[in-house]
A and B are shown apart, each in its own frame.
Chain A
Amino acid sequence: MSFDPRIQLAEKKLSRIRHVLLVAGGKGGVGKSTVAASLALSIARLGYKTGLLDADIHGPSIPKIVKVDFPAKSSVNGIEPAKLENLKIMSTAFFIDEDKPIPVRGESKEKLVLDLFAETDWSELDFLVVDLPPGMGDETLAVLKIFEKHGKAILVTTPSLLSVYVVEKLVKMLMREKVPILGIVKNMAYIPYKGEKIKLYKKDVVEKLALKYGIDVLGELPLDFDVEEKIFEGKTPLDSEKFAEEFKKIVQKVLDKIRLSN
């Protein structure tokens, strides 16, 4: 026999978490981490006990989006997560110098995701938001394995044909794994200019995809240069007014859907 006791640890931690939201997109650079961080922070600000797990092993970017101090402490309950306001955050980036590559191989990625989740002292949570890596490789499969019974997916894509092409593959995989899809966020859909929305893509392939698979579009977010500026300044994407305004609607839709599904 061979049985990993960390799976039991993960199950124990999961038993104290009410909802797990898996933010995924398949393709890199579509804004998954920005959406995951903003979603987790928004929910935490509404008073829910919330955690944010950065499952992007090779390119952990959550600590770049939300600047936090990692306490680097542990107790019998596990490693203490970093905190932004009342949001608990864990990422492999906390343990590694910023400029260092993280070239992890196959099975090790799976073990790392399990360790990162199971070794963190999340305590009791209403929501755990998981930022998935691009692709459908080992770490994505590891996340699905840990959270398959609890997780609900939120997909992020740009309206680009290439991005939607990849997200469709992810939709099929999630359906195959029976992971419910709460909806899809259309990111970088337009540029806000003098009160107008300048669309970046002529054809709306996201709506077409959503219709094909019966998925709700949770909302569309602007390509707002101010978001990047705010991150540079050490603030969060939610400090960008236009982004925050649109994001609020998405958060409301997500919470409504969760209430309905219970």
Chain B
Amino acid sequence: MHEWSLAEGIYRAVIDFAEKGKAKRVIEIEVQVGELSNLDLELMKEAFHVLAKGSIAENAKINFKVEKAVFQCEKCSYEWGLKEALEQMRKSLNEDKHIVDEEGTLDLPIHYMPDLVYAFVTCPKCGSSNYKVVSGTGISIRKVVIEK
């Protein structure tokens, strides 16, 4: 259900932007989401439309672009992605460190705090913690098209 609060964050930011720009309506929104959060984009879309009902963003088209997760080791230069990171997390994280949502789903902490990934993953090749998360953790509104 984390998707609902993020959708609300998007809605508030878009309305704020549109009102400042004296918009009559919002036509299109583009949101980039990091792959690590494993967000349910359909649910986010639905939540956004429910929240935007009756507002100038009611009929806005919302597009999500998923940014791939890329990790790069500073020690051995190995690069890896979500699959290898998730394998490690599933092995190292006990069930009690997951978060249970209202529907009983067990979520990894990185669903809420993607940058916590540093605590759970090491370089799959050399085992070092000295790596960079090059991409795949954030969420940002990249484009808002308005009609004045």
Chain A residues at the B interface, C-beta cutoff of 8 Å:
1-9, 11-12, 72-79, 92, 95-97, 100-105, 108-109, 111-112, 115-116, 118-119
Evaluate contact between B1 and A74: CB separation under 8 angstroms.
Answer: yes
- With A and B bound together, what is the CA distance between A79 and B108 in angstroms? 12
B127 at the interface (CB under 8 A from A): no
- Interface residue SS majority, chain A: mixed
Evaluate contact between A119 and B137: CB separation under 8 angstroms.
Answer: no
- With A and B bound together, what is the CA distance between A115 and B109 in angstroms? 11
- With A and B bound together, what is the CA distance between A6 and B115 in angstroms? 14
Partner of B137 from the list A9, A79, A102, A108 (CB cut-off 8 Å) is A108
Interface mask (B98-129 → A, CB under 8 Å = 1, otherwise 0): 11111000010100111110111000000001
Q: A75-B102, A95-B109 are in contact. Are A6 and B6 (CB under 8 A)?
A: yes
B22 at the interface (CB under 8 A from A): no
Evaluate contact between A8 and B99: CB separation under 8 angstroms.
Answer: no
A-B residue pair count with CB separations less than 8 angstroms: 127
- Chosen A-B contacts, 8 in total, with CB atoms closer than 8 Å, are A3-B17, A5-B12, A5-B13, A6-B9, A76-B1, A76-B4, A96-B109, A96-B120
Evaluate contact between A4 and B139: CB separation under 8 angstroms.
Answer: yes
Partner of A9 from the list B8, B109, B115 (CB cut-off 8 Å) is B8
Chain B residues at the A interface, C-beta cutoff of 8 Å:
1-2, 4-6, 8-10, 12-13, 16-17, 31, 92, 94, 96-102, 107, 109, 112-116, 118-120, 129-130, 132-133, 137-144
Residues of chain B contacted by A112 (CB below 8 angstroms): 113, 115-116
Q: A74-B107, A95-B109, A95-B113 are in contact. Are A1 and B141 (CB under 8 A)?
A: yes
Residues of chain A contacted by B9 (CB below 8 angstroms): 5-9, 12, 118
Task: Name B100's closest neighbour in chain A (CB-CB).
Answer: A73
Residues of chain B contacted by A92 (CB below 8 angstroms): 113, 116, 119
A117 to chain B, nearest CB (A): 11
Residues of chain B contacted by A104 (CB below 8 angstroms): 115-116, 118-119
Evaluate contact between B97 and A95: CB separation under 8 angstroms.
Answer: yes
Partner of B99 from the list A1, A7, A9, A72 (CB cut-off 8 Å) is A72
Evaluate contact between B133 and A108: CB separation under 8 angstroms.
Answer: yes
Residues of chain B contacted by A7 (CB below 8 angstroms): 9, 13
Evaluate contact between B99 and A73: CB separation under 8 angstroms.
Answer: yes
- With A and B bound together, what is the CA distance between A96 and B100 in angstroms? 16
A242 to chain B, nearest CB (A): 37
Evaluate contact between B137 and A111: CB separation under 8 angstroms.
Answer: yes
B28 to chain A, nearest CB (A): 13
Residues of chain A contacted by B100 (CB below 8 angstroms): 72-74
Residues of chain A contacted by B119 (CB below 8 angstroms): 92, 95-96, 100-104
Give me the 7 closest cross-chain CB pairs, A-B, nearest first: A5-B9, A108-B115, A95-B109, A8-B12, A115-B113, A8-B9, A9-B9
A95 to chain B, nearest CB (A): 4
Evaluate contact between A79 and B13: CB separation under 8 angstroms.
Answer: no
Residues of chain A contacted by B129 (CB below 8 angstroms): 101, 103
B101 to chain A, nearest CB (A): 5
Q: A8-B9, A9-B9 are in contact. Are A119 and B115 (CB under 8 A)?
A: no
- With A and B bound together, what is the CA distance between A90 and B126 in angstroms? 33
B29 to chain A, nearest CB (A): 10
B103 to chain A, nearest CB (A): 10
Evaluate contact between A111 and B140: CB separation under 8 angstroms.
Answer: no
Residues of chain A contacted by B4 (CB below 8 angstroms): 76
Residues of chain A contacted by B97 (CB below 8 angstroms): 72, 95-97
